[in-house]
Amino acid sequence: MKWLVLGMVGLVVAVAVYVRLAPTDPAQWHEMPGAVTNRDLTGGAMRVVGAGEGGLAWMDEIIRATPRTEVLAGSVESGMVTYVTRSRVFGFPDYTTLRASGPQLELYGRSRFGRSDFGVNAARLDRWLKAFAERG
């Protein structure tokens, strides 16, 4: 029994280390689908919102202020930015790409590991959009 418990603990530690240290290829995650619509996905979510002048920079500020979130690739100046946000306990990465598309902002959040994100990306995008609406 003792070995079983130690084996399980070792497995959990190994998975946690892999999740935190696995390399991320920005070319794989710094992309957007051809058509972004307001919808929830099995492992993520998409949102589109009217932004107006300076909307991309405002949303970038909101996203950068989110705990455990950093820029993976892109910039406001280029019109598209991808961020990685890690979960608090295990550090699971979720990737969100923000793109200016004319007068609109497109947001595409998705998880890297697992089939389902349990609605985490949709909830995060909705929180950011609520803060964006309250700001402007």
pTM: 0.88
The answer to whether residues 94 and 121 touch, using CB atoms and an 8 Å cutoff, is yes
Q: Which domain holds residue 110?
A: 24-135
Would 69 be classed as within a structural domain?
Answer: yes
Would 7 be classed as within a structural domain?
Answer: no
Would 88 be classed as within a structural domain?
Answer: yes
Amino acid letter for position 78: S
What does the pLDDT look like over 29-43, one tens digit per residue? 999 998 899 999 999
92: domain CATH number? 3.30.310.80
Of the two residues 2 and 70, the one the predictor is more confident about is: 70
Predicted local confidence at residue 136, as pLDDT: 62
In percent, the amount of the chain with pLDDT more than 70 equals 98
Residue 108 sits at φ, ψ, to 5 deg, of -135, 105
Would 81 be classed as within a structural domain?
Answer: yes
Amino acid letter for position 125: L
* Pairing, β 39-41 against β 44-50: antiparallel
